[in-house]
A = this chain, B = another copy of it.
Amino acid sequence: MATSASRTKFKDIINTGFGANTNAEGGRLVNPDGSNNLKKTGMPLYERISIYHTLLRMSRFKFMIAILFFYTSINLFFAFIYFAIGVNHLSGIDINHPIWMRFVEAFFFSSQTLTTVGYGHVAPSGLLTNFVASTESLLGILAFAVVTGLIYGRFSRPKAYLLFSKNMLIAPYRGSKALMIRLATYKNNHLTDAEAQLTVAMHVMEDGKKITRFYQLPLEISRVTSLALSWTVVHPINEDSPLANLTEEQMNEAKLEIILSIKAFDDHFSNTVQQRTSYSHNQLVYGARFLPMFDRAREGAYTILELDKINHHEKVVIVEDVTG
C-alpha cells in the first residue's frame, strides 16, 4: 500500500512514551482535553490516585459538593458520639427534648465546634465530652488548613487558558499545502515565549502488519515571543513531511491523530504553563483556510480579538501537486 510504503524514508520517533503496538486498532491515544487515553491496573486504587491531583482537577461544582459532603459527614459522626456519650453532658441541651431533636442539637453543637465558632450556649461538660470536643476542634482546624491549601492550590495552579480551533485544516500554502491549527488565549492572561510541538500518530503497514508510528511534524514557526493574538500553527506538507503525498482518503485510512502541545511562560505569574490537545482524523477538514479573527477597533485605539471566530474557515480547492 502506497500510504505505508511512502513513510519508510521518515525516521519515526520512538520516544513518545507510547509504544508501537501491532494491534493498532485501538482508540485514540490522547483525549481532546490533553489527558492520555490510558488506564492503570495492578495497584490498589488508593496508591494509584493522588488525592491532591484529583481534588485540584475536579470541577468547581464537584469540589463544593465534596466539601459539603465531608462537612456533613464529620458532623454526623461527632453528633453520634456526643449522643452516645449522652447529651446530658452538653449543658444547654434540654434532656427532655424528643430523641431526634437532641440528636439534631448534638449535630449543631458539633458544627459549632468544628468551625470553632463556639457560641457557648451549648457547651461540653464531663471528661469524655470535653475530650471529644477538644479533639473535634483540633480536627476542625486541621481540616480547615487542608481546605485552605486545596483552595489556594486550585487558584494558583498554572493554567494556559488556551482555546483551540475545533478542526485542523489542510490549507493551500506556498504552492503546496499545509496542516493548520489555530489557538488563542481566552482569558486576561498573557503568554510569552510560546513553543508548539506537533506529533502525528498514524497507522502504517510494516511486514504486512498494521502498526502505529509516530512522527514529529516540523513547523513553519515553532516559537512565538508573545501570544497576544491568535496563533496559527502551520506544518508545511512538503517533501520533508511524513504527510506528503497523502490524499484525503489515505489520511482517514491511516487514522491520523495529531497531538499538539503548547508550552509557554505566563507573564503574570512568572511560571511555565502547558496545554495539550489532540485531533482525530474525523476533525480534519481537507481544503479550507482560517478566516481572520482579529481586527483593529474602528477608532483605531486598540486591537479586537474575536474568540468566537477561532474555528471560522472557508472551503478552498487544493491543487494536488502530482510531481511530489
Q: A residues bordering B, Cβ < 8 Å?
A: 13-19, 21, 23, 25-27, 29, 34-43, 47-50, 52-54, 56-57, 67-68, 71, 75, 91, 104-105, 108, 111-113, 115-121, 123-125, 127, 130-131, 133-134, 137-138, 140-142, 144-153, 155-159, 161, 186-190, 192, 194, 197, 199, 221, 223-229, 231, 261, 265, 267-274, 276, 294-297, 300-309
Closest Cβ of chain B to A65, distance in Å, is: 13
Of chain B, the residue at the smallest CB distance from A113 is B117
How far apart are A134's CB and chain B's nearest CB, in angstroms? Answer: 4
Q: A37-B301, A42-B308, A42-B309 are in contact. List 6 more A-B contacts (CB 8 A).
A: A25-B296, A38-B228, A119-B119, A148-B148, A148-B152, A157-B268
Contacts of A157 in B (CB 8 A): 268-270
Q: Which of B115, B158, B229 contacts A138 (CB 8 A)?
A: B115
Minimal Cβ-Cβ distance residue in B for A303: B38
Min Cβ gap A295→B in Å is 8
Give the distance to chain B from A281, nearest Cβ to Cβ, in Å.
16
Whether the pair B53, A188 counts as a contact (CB closer than 8 A) is yes
Question: Which chain B positions have C-beta within 8 A of A125?
Answer: 121
CB distance from A171 to the nearest CB of B (A): 16
B270 and A303 form a contact (CB under 8 A): no
Inter-chain contact A15/B221, CB cutoff 8 Å: yes
Q: Count copies of this chain in the complex.
A: 4
Nearest first, the 5 A-B pairs at minimum CB distance are A42-B308, A149-B152, A17-B226, A120-B120, A121-B123
* Chain B residues, CB < 8 A from A130: 104-105, 108
CB of A299 to closest CB in B, whole Å: 8
Cα(A54)–Cα(B161), bound, Å: 14
* Chain B residue nearest in CB terms to A294: B19
Given A48-B307, A111-B137, do A36 and B228 touch, yes or no (CB 8 Å)? yes
Task: Tell me, in angstroms, the Cα distance from A307 to B38 when the chains sit together.
Answer: 12
A57, B268: Cβ atoms under 8 Å?
A: yes
Instruction: Evaluate contact between A137 and B161: CB separation under 8 angstroms.
Output: no
